[in-house]
Amino acid sequence: MSEQRFNLPDVGEGLTEAEIVQWKVAPGDTVAINDVLVEIETAKSLVELPSPYAGVVGAILVEEGVTVDVGTPIISVFAITSPVTSAAALESPTPPNGSEATVAATDDAGTVSAEGDDKPDAVLVGHGSSASGGTRRRRTRSQAAAHETLAPAAPPPVRLADGIQPLPRPAHAPAASAGPVIAKPPIRKLAKDLGVDLAQVTPTGPIGDVTRDDVVREASQVTVFRNIETPAWPEIREDRIPVKGVRKAIALAMVGSAFTAPHVSLFVDVDATRTMEFVKRLKTSTDFAGVKVSPLLIMAKAMIWAVRRNPSVNAAWTDEEIIVKHYVNLGIAAATPRGLIVPNVKEAQEMSLLELAVALERLTITARDGKTSPAEMSGGTITITNIGVFGMDTGTPILNQGEVAIVALGTIKQKPWIVDGEVRARYVTTIGASFDHRVVDGDVASRFLADVASIIEEPALLLD
């Protein structure tokens, strides 16, 4: 049994540093290959790092809350098996949390060897966070079997390709009852964080348990502004919050965007009555059973359609060239407890309305859980921000850095609207958009926004 030190890896996207958020193990704990050792915060997301060794934890080398550079030794383990250090890691059994393990690259300096050992240290195997957390000790087979019997594992992510269907909610889900609520601890914590009363949630799990999707769906029905008790003024006069992690990344991106790309913004009021009627019909459709449907779905589809008609809004600017992208990685600005992030739906232009609905729902759930991976937040081509959920009519959104267009969907509410010469109550919204004027001229921006508005006014145009 040899002591091995593991270095903080680059888990992707050119990571240079990360903060140690929470250790999942302690000295003396027994770990198996792929057991989660630590949760780190990069500039984009929370990431869990699994162990490439089976053995016993020796020492924690970096305390929680400390930010360290990639390549810094963070933990030592007395290993009893060979490390996972090559492509063979991809062929190893699936990690406990269901994610695929990937091998992080080392820096040019290599890794630090354990004292008295000529073998180089292994770099931690890194992969994106999942909905479930790691455990300190390896479970026995009987414990794992009992867990699977009482609380089945979450379904794998939908790959949304041809021939693969989303996981529908049971057609006749059991109704909420006055009896004990069956829910796993992470689900109860999520419900508490979102202010959801589990007793009011209709469970759809296979054993009558409340699922993560059930909680998020219930939370979406609750107004953002709750009548909560106003807290007393704190006794301390100031709070000093370190600028790091996601907040630091947001600040750099916003400043870089605002003072690099010359923004131009446009706004248009739209009669969204037919969109609201269409959404209502989709909610009652058996094809969309168990899938969250909202006006955001129609807006997303409208943007994809408008991009096809106005491709220059789906581009990137460099000092040497304009790169027009003939695919849509649709970014969705999401407000999370950790700050604003913009994950994106890859190849959205290839998706049906149902596939897009499933992708948006899973993206939203993952973002709210703080489990969005760096890969899901890279490569975006155009972004939508739904400020309507906060009751806002419109705004002037700042471009997601590296993109040349962003659209803001305002709240949809009934207003007086003239129809055929008569004033009627209609569902009206205001759509705002910002563009990089180096790439998008005013006429293109206007045509693009008009195309988006035309779909919101008449979703049947999507059938062309």
Structure confidence by residue, pLDDT tens digits, 412-421: 999 999 999 9
End-to-end Cα separation, the chain, in angstroms: 66
- What is the per-residue pLDDT for 14? 61
Look at residue 80 and give its three-state secondary structure.
Answer: coil
> In the structure, how many helices (H) and strands (E) does the chain have?
8, 20
pLDDT above 90 (res 368):
no
Q: Is the pLDDT of residue 390 over 90?
A: no
Residue 151 scores a pLDDT above 50: no
Of the two residues 44 and 208, the one the predictor is more confident about is: 208
Query: Residue 154 above 70 pLDDT?
Result: no
% pLDDT > 90, the chain:
30
Write down the pLDDT at residue 145.
43
Q: Sorting pLDDT into bands at 50, 70 and 90, what band is 8?
A: confident
Instruction: Count the neighbouring beta carbons within 10 Å of the beta carbon of residue 224.
Output: 10
Highest mean pLDDT among 23-32, 126-135, 166-175: 23-32
The model's pTM is 0.56
Mean pLDDT (whole number) for 282-305: 91
What the chain holds in terms of domains, given with CATH numbers, is 2-138 (2.40.50.100), 155-229 (4.10.320.10), 245-463 (3.30.559.10)
Ranking 76-85, 219-228, 307-316 by mean pLDDT, the lowest is 219-228
Q: How would residue 153 be classed by pLDDT, with cut points 50, 70 and 90?
A: very low
Known catalytic residue at 127: no
Structural tokens at position 353: 């309305």
Give the Cα separation of 35 and 51 in Å (integer).
Answer: 6
User: What is the predicted pLDDT for the residue at 441?
Assistant: 92
Q: What is the mean pLDDT of the chain?
A: 76
Nearest alpha carbon to residue 32 among 138, 160, 116: 138
81-121, pLDDT tens digit by residue?
A: 555 443 333 333 334 444 333 333 333 333 333 344 444 44
Mean per-residue pLDDT, 325-335 = 92
Which of 105-109, 199-203, 432-436 has the lowest average pLDDT?
105-109
233-292: pLDDT as tens digits: 888 877 887 877 777 777 787 787 877 888 999 999 999 999 999 999 998 888 898 888
User: In the prediction, which pLDDT does 71 show?
Assistant: 87
Burial class (CB in 10 A: 0-12, 13-18, 19+), 161: exposed
Amino acid 413 reads K
Rg of the chain over CA atoms, in angstroms? 24
Amino acid at 323: I
Contact by Cβ (8 Å): 407, 433: yes
